[in-house]
Structure 1
Amino acid sequence: MPTWPASLPFFPDAAAMTRSAPINTTIRTPMSAGPDKTRPRFSAASRSRPGRIHRLTKAQLQAFEVFYRDDLKLGALSFTATDPFDCTEYEFRILDYAVGRSGAVFTVDAELEILP
């Protein structure tokens, strides 16, 4: 399994650090009387986490895109990294990303998935 490149910061922007609860993890069945019956859908579920990397150089942006394209096979594979949100190592997958530019520096905004 690939690991995050040491030459790149791992989505360190504290302002963009949030983490969501797993979504669609239960099945609700309406009852003829009383509240719906609810049961778990899975034994484990992934969570999403947005991330942002500021102030990347052109070389760092190229390293990120090579990592995504070649090592992660365009996002099909997961990788391990330590999440600065809680300093715990997780297995991540990049669901989507976008690149912005301001002068000679670049910003990467991505939607990450934390795998169970």
Structure 2
Amino acid sequence: MPAWPSDLPFFESADETRTGPQGAVIRSQMDMGPDQVRRRTSSAPKRRAGVIQAITDAELVAFEAFFSNVIGEGALSFTATDPFDGVTRTFRFVGSYSVQRVWPYFAITAELEILP
């Protein structure tokens, strides 16, 4: 499994939050009484928004090469140390990313899944 490049900063939590497991339960409405809830899966991904602030032109090129060539435009997962709690986890991009020019640097934002 690919690892996040050691020469690139990793995504900081954009708002210092992350979600609980997504899609782990299924809810069925009953004709009478409370909804019936059951577990759909024993392991579901968590999500969080992330941002890499103030990266250079060269770091942006390295990030885009990693995204395109190493993890197949975000199709593959990768390992990295989660800055939220310092634990090495498996991540995957949810969709793509966006780049904003913050002169003279760039900022990258993306949504990531933390895989079980």
Match of 2:102 in 1: 102
Moved over 4 A (4+): none
Match of 1:77 in 2: 76
- Counterparts of residues 1-116 of structure 1 (less than 5 Å): 1-12=1-12, 16-95=15-94, 96-116=96-116
Q: In structure 2, give the amino acid aligned to 1:86.
A: D
How many residues of Structure 1 are paired with residues of Structure 2 in the alignment?
115
User: Identity, % of aligned pairs?
Assistant: 50
Q: Which runs of 5+ in 2 are unaligned?
A: none
Cα deviation, residue 39, structure 1: 0.2
The alpha-carbon distance between structure 1 residues 15 and 43, as it changes in their structure 2 partners (threshold 3 A), is closer
Report the 3-state secondary structure (helix = DSSP H, G, I; strand = E; otherwise coil) of the residue aligned with 1:65: helix
Contact 1:54 1:108 in 2 (8 A): yes
Report the 3-state secondary structure (helix = DSSP H, G, I; strand = E; otherwise coil) of the residue aligned with 2:79: strand
Q: In structure 1, give the amino acid aligned to 2:85.
A: D
Cα deviation, residue 66, structure 1: 0.2
Q: TM-score, normalised by structure 1?
A: 0.92
Q: TM-score, normalised by structure 2?
A: 0.92
Cα deviation, residue 22, structure 1: 1.8
